[in-house]
Amino acid sequence: MTRFESAKEIYARYGIDAERALNLAAGKPISIHCWQGDDVVGFDNPDGGAGNGIQTTGNYPGKARNFEELKADFLKAASLVPGKKRINLHACYAIFTQENPWTDRNKLEYKHFAPWVAFARENGLGIDFNPTCFSHPMVKDGLTLSSPDEDVRRFWIDHCKASRRIAQQIGEELQDKVMNNVWIPDGYKDTPADRLSPRKRLKDALDEIFAEECPNVIDCVESKFFAVGVESYTAGSNEFYTAYAATHPNVYNLMDAGHYHPSEPISDKISAMLLYFQYVPLHVTRGVNWDSDHVVSFDDETREICKEIVRSDALDRVLVGLDFFDASINRVAAWVIGCRNFEKALLWALLQPDDELKAMQDRGDFTGRLMLQEEAKTLPFADIWAEYCRRAGVPEGREWFEIVKQYEDEVLKKRG
């Protein structure tokens, strides 16, 4: 008997079907963010780097400097992660060539992303999209869509419209639905004199952005409470976007795990949102104090998020995107660690004795519920995970790191 077979038997004693868990995990697509590969720099302003609303820290050598390098790094990372994948693009990753020279963000078109679509097709990936409303001189006083300056607002409205059209065409090309997620950094460092007007301007801007029919697009707006530099006020708060989404068909509030109070987990919000919305889009990341973007860990909250998705029978309604960027460690390894951890948490959640736990809760057996939750933690999960990796053709354990280190020596270290 193999370790997997023995583990499967132990799980069966708890009423858990390991084969079913393996199949469901393998079928759930995860949108992997391209921006971990180059610290959210993109291709439209290579000397500029991230800034104006977003921050990465660290200067580990070897970041991807262009389309070819980013594709290669992404594929290297993806080859070490089990499960179904999408690639999450930002508008700043537009591809400029001699035929399609640089153009500003308000004028971007599908053609600037056609090479990404070819890449996705070649590698069996879905695509998701994001307008890039940061790291650009038109971010004025930290504001974009909520700015009192009409030219600033116009620029970003046009950019968001362009992004939606691009997402729509990507969806048509791939015969798929494409998420287009609007995140803006707009907020104030210190106590605002007027909280209402920026939100009113943001609301009007969104109405214009979403006016055009885009049947292949799932429109998302990403909420946030505060960040470094905008400690006192963020225009696109959770209440603002939840209410906006509730009153606008096909618009969804995207919840990022690092965007709320450190003790305010998004795992608790998923069920509430599922009762009212067709889709619940997430950015799975790891908040650490005031920062939202650490590499995803196999931690309690990531597992709780996955348990909520599984227990709510919402694998096809909770849209999972990853969103972390760490420039202080090997970027390919960061991708692999974060993606594998999400996959692990998902598989782990699919291996919980949910039916029995729910029954215990409903008959008021809270002692039994706690007992079983705790006993389930030490079931032989590692053997099922190893089988999941084996079936996906990726390394089961730490061997993947040798592959990344070799890639670092042969490829990453040779970059300027």
- The CA distance from 190 to 29, in Å, is 40
Among 4, 43, 113, 183, binds ligand RNT (CB under 6 A): 183
- Is 385 catalytic? The answer is no
Q: Which H or E element spans position 126?
A: strand 126-130
Residue 130 β-bridge partners: 90
Query: Considering the rule CB under 6 A, would residue 180 count as an interface residue with ligand RNT?
Result: no
CB of 264 to Zn ion, least distance (A): 15
Which of 39, 222, 387, 408 is close enough to bind ligand RNT by CB under 6 A?
Answer: 222
Contact status: 260 vs ligand RNT (CB under 6 A): no
To which H or E segment does residue 396 belong? none
The residue to which tokens 């991807």 are assigned: 64
How do 233-234 and 187-188 pair as beta strands?
antiparallel
Report yes or no: 188 and 230 within 8 Å, Cβ to Cβ: yes
Based on the shown chain and the rule CB under 6 A, indicate whether residue 38 belongs to the binding site for ligand RNT.
no
Nearer of residues 11 and 93 to ligand RNT, judged by Cβ:
93
Q: Which is nearer to ligand RNT, 283 or 303 (CB)?
A: 283
219 touches ligand RNT by CB under 6 A: no
**Is 186 among the residues that bind ligand RNT (CB under 6 A)?**
no
Task: State the minimum distance, in angstroms, from the CB of residue 257 to Zn ion.
Answer: 8
Residue 252 phi, psi dihedral angles, 5° rounding: -130, 145
Q: How far is the CB of 292 from ligand RNT (least distance, A)?
A: 5
**How far apart are the C-alpha atoms of 361 and 126, rounded to whole Å?**
39
Residue 194 is a catalytic residue:
no
Considering the complex, state which of residue 44 and residue 293 has its C-beta at the smaller distance from ligand RNT. Answer: 293
CA angle 386/389/393 to nearest 5° reads: 135
Pick the catalytic residue: 76, 136, 159, 259? 259
**Annotation says 183 is catalytic:** yes
- Which listed residue (38, 173, 219, 323) is catalytic? 323
Residue the block writes with tokens 């980013």: 70
Q: Which of 169, 180, 242, 292 is the binder for ligand RNT (CB under 6 A)? A: 292
Residue 35 partner contact from ligand RNT, Zn ion, none using kind-dependent CB cut-offs of 5 to 8 Å = ligand RNT
Smaller CB separation from ligand RNT, 73 or 256: 256
- CB-nearer residue toward Zn ion: 182 or 392: 182
- By CB under 6 A, name the one of 25, 40, 318, 357 that touches ligand RNT: 40
Active-site residue, 293 included = yes
State the Cα–Cα distance between residues 164 and 322, nearest whole angstrom: 20
Residue 333's contacts (CB-CB under 8 Å, 6 or more residues apart) are 401, 404
Q: Tell whether residue 159 is a contact of ligand RNT (CB under 6 A).
A: no
Selected binder of ligand RNT within 28, 63, 283, 344 (CB under 6 A) = 283
CB 65 → ligand RNT: shortest distance, Å? 18
Assign 227 to helix, strand or coil: strand
88's enclosing H/E stretch is strand 84-90
Among 35, 116, 156, 183, the one annotated catalytic = 183
Bridge partners, residue 179, by sequence: 218
Q: Which of 35, 240, 279, 385: binder of ligand RNT (CB under 6 A)?
A: 35
Report what 40 binds from ligand RNT, Zn ion, none; CB cut-off 5-8 Å by kind: ligand RNT
- Looking at beta carbons only, is 5 or 264 nearer to ligand RNT? 264
Residues paired with 233 in a beta bridge: 188
Q: How many residues bind to ligand RNT according to rule CB under 6 A?
A: 11
How many whole angstroms separate alpha carbon 339 and alpha carbon 85?
10
Q: How many angstroms separate the CA atoms of 107 and 200, rounded? A: 25
Cβ closest to ligand RNT, residue 283 vs residue 344: 283
For residue 407, give both structure tokens.
């890639």
222 included as an active-site residue: yes
Residues counted in the chain: 416
Interacting residues of 393 by C-beta distance below 8 A, sequence separation 6+: none
CA distance 338 to 323: 9
CB of 183 to ligand RNT, least distance (A): 4
Dig out the tokens for 6 from the structure: 């023995």
- Region of residue 324 (left: phi > 0; alpha: psi -120 to 50; beta: else): beta
By the rule CB under 6 A, 31 interacts with ligand RNT: no
Q: Which spans of this chain sit near ligand RNT (rule: CB under 6 A)?
A: 35, 40, 130, 183, 222, 224, 256, 283, 292-293, 323
Catalytic center residues: 183, 222, 224, 256, 259, 283, 291, 293, 323
